[in-house]
Chains A and B, each alone.
Chain A
Amino acid sequence: MENFGYLFAAYTIIFAVIFIYVMFIWRRQQRLEEDLRGLSRRVDEVDRKAAIKSAS
């Protein structure tokens, strides 16, 4: 089992880097979802204002 530490380090780093990258993509998706919710609120606001204006 000589050099097991090197083997362990290599495989740990591989999975750690992949995990960090997946987290990075996941955070970007979360940000996109927030932006979508913001857009949806703005569309509702425009619709509401348009409805008020057309009624008056």
Chain B
Amino acid sequence: MLMVAALYMVFLYVPTEAAQGIVQRIFYFHVPCAWVAFAGFGLVAISGVLYLWLGQDVWDDLGYAAAEVGMVFCTLVLITGSIWAKPIWGVWWTWDSRLTTTLLLWLLYGGYLMLRAAANESPNGARLAAVVGIVAALDVPVVIVSVRLWRTIHPAVLVTKQGGHGLQDPRMVTTLLVAMAAFTVLFAWLLMLRFATLRMRARIDRLTLRLALAEAAAQDI
């Protein structure tokens, strides 16, 4: 319902931005994608710390699920940003600080996912992946403040250099907030689904091992 409301607001309720025209409406889903991607990567770092501290598999699985869902949304951030850039900047990509740090974030979590997949059930591999997940999360605040720290052509929509935000109409703010709520719910749902499959996989693997032992014992009788 929230997603339907967000789509209605993006296409029918919010006024068209004067300078950029209709293509500015990409922003209402581009920013929420970034928000949930950052939330996902933050969760990877928190889960990584808890896994290293407590050593419980549940935190490793939660970190893995959060990284995977976060990657989906980070990929969407890069794609939608590129589609917006073409008519506004005239290029699909430029090595701007915001774009570059976001691409770096995508590569770091791509590395985390590859490492985590290769680690399979090895505790050492999972611990190493947790460390990578924590270190990679340090790039999230860099992405957020990059428009304030360096010279950039990326619009500082949420936090401008002068403070405040770059949205001129209150309807734009409302639309963005509704879209962010819709994406937060979508993110939580996908995370829950993926986390549940990982936990189920772990349980099935444990049961398979126990059953193999029981079968071997039954043959020995």
Binding site for B on A (CB under 8 A): 1-4, 6-7, 9-11, 13-14, 17-18, 21-22, 25, 28-29, 32, 35-36, 39, 42-43, 46, 49-50, 53
Contacts and interface: CB of A to CB of B under 8 A. Distances in A.
Contact of B190 (A4, A13, A21): A21
Main secondary structure of the interface of B (DSSP, over half): helix
Interface of B: 21-23, 25-26, 29-30, 33, 69, 72, 75-76, 79-80, 83-84, 86-87, 186, 190, 193-194, 197, 200-201, 204, 207-208, 211, 214-215, 218, 221
A10 B25 CA distance: 10
Given A42-B215, A46-B218, A4 B22 contact: yes
Contact of A6 (B86, B214, B221): B86
A14 B186 CA distance: 12
A35 B200 CA distance: 10
Contact of B211 (A4, A39, A53): A39
Contact of B186 (A7, A18, A49, A53): A18
Nearest to B201: A32
